Amino acid sequence: MKKTVLVSGGAGYIGSHVTVELVEAGYDVVIADNMSNCDDTCLRGVREITGRDLPFYRMDFCDAKAVEQLFSDVRIDAVIHFAAYKAVGESVAEPVKYYLNNLTSFLNVLDAARVHGCNVLFSSSATVYGEPDKLPVTEESPRQSATSPYGNTKQMCEDFLRDSVKAYPEKIRGIALRYFNPIGAHPSALIGELPRGVPNNLVPFITQTASGIRECLSIFGNDYPTPDGTCQRDYIDIVDLAKAHVCAVRRMLDGKMESGYEIFNIGTGRPVSVLELVNTFERVNGLKLNYRFAPRRAGDVTAIWADPSLAERKLGWKAGRSLDETLKSAWEWEKHIRGIK
């Protein structure tokens, strides 16, 4: 029998790409989203790419009754939880909003999983490592105290999952995937990132600068102790990232886990500086970007990249798309949504 995967936040950037990969891998997918931070662009894109009209529930995961109802109505074998707020700066300004939303929604998922029995995949973040002492970071690298409420919710939700698996081993198995910096878009250019307002993240800011929506990209800091003075990150292609979810779901559903709760880094293992990323974007797309150096951004770590070898060994997953391809796809998506030829 086909297994059913619930994707909370499935209309968003990562959720929509994961939905596509799950469908292509043969899973039945149910999407749920309250549409608070997106329009239906990616839902329409998913429909076009998969050729399927997937079941969609417009609902808020903070609504415990609605979550319970969904799990009662539909037999869900695994849930992938994306439904959360994700702006680091906003979380500092509005911590209560972030804690209420991100913690409540995940607790409701765990409660339903506890009652109905369900595998749970949590979308965590490399932010849990803070400013690492040693690079690259492995899953054993210590978590550092979070520098934002957003980061804190990632750590807390990981702990909620770990403790729930321990308490209800017959009901819940869990995997947390710690994403590094997801970028790019689906090769069809039908789904991608749609930030509201001024983008906080680098690649959407770059593509909006290239399309003329933003006048100039500020590169935050060129005096870091890195080879070119700009921060280094591990930029992971969104389709590669989505495929990691399929591998993790398969591992849970096929009973391949070695313990009830597992954690995997999802990155490329390759550090890329801001300047390198900008230069690559310009080169592969044949564009010149207007940029200037600006002061450091508060809260940025100097450098972080993954040791992704555990995911390769246990999930059979490895990043495949090159940075060139990924940055081309980011620009194709920007052109698609702006109607640029």
Query: Which residues make up the interface to ligand UFG (CB under 6 A)?
Result: 86, 88, 125, 127, 150-151, 181, 200-202, 205, 217-220, 231, 233, 274, 297, 300
How far apart are alpha carbons 264 and 308 in whole angstroms? 8
Burial annotation 271-292 (CB, 10 A radius, 16+ → b, else e): bbbbbbbbebbbebbeeebebe
How far apart are alpha carbons 151 and 141 in whole angstroms? 16
Phi, psi for residue 57 in degrees, rounded to 5: -115, 120
User: Whose Cβ is closer to ligand UFG: residue 138's or residue 218's?
Assistant: 218
Q: Which residues contact 150 (CB under 8 A, 6 or more apart)?
A: 85, 86, 87, 88, 90, 91, 98, 102, 127
Burial annotation 298-307 (CB, 10 A radius, 16+ → b, else e): eebbebbbbb
**Closest distance of CB 16 from ligand UFG, Å:** 17
Nearest residue by C-beta to ligand UFG?
A: 231
User: Whose Cβ is closer to ligand UFG: residue 112's or residue 203's?
Assistant: 203
DSSP assignment of 19-35:
HHHHHHTT-EEEEEE--
Active site residues: 150
User: Whose Cβ is closer to ligand UFG: residue 56's or residue 331's?
Assistant: 331
**Closest distance of CB 202 from ligand UFG, Å:** 4
**Closest distance of CB 184 from ligand UFG, Å:** 12
**Closest distance of CB 214 from ligand UFG, Å:** 9
User: Whose Cβ is closer to ligand UFG: residue 86's or residue 186's?
Assistant: 86
User: Whose Cβ is closer to ligand UFG: residue 88's or residue 323's?
Assistant: 88
**Closest distance of CB 130 from ligand UFG, Å:** 9
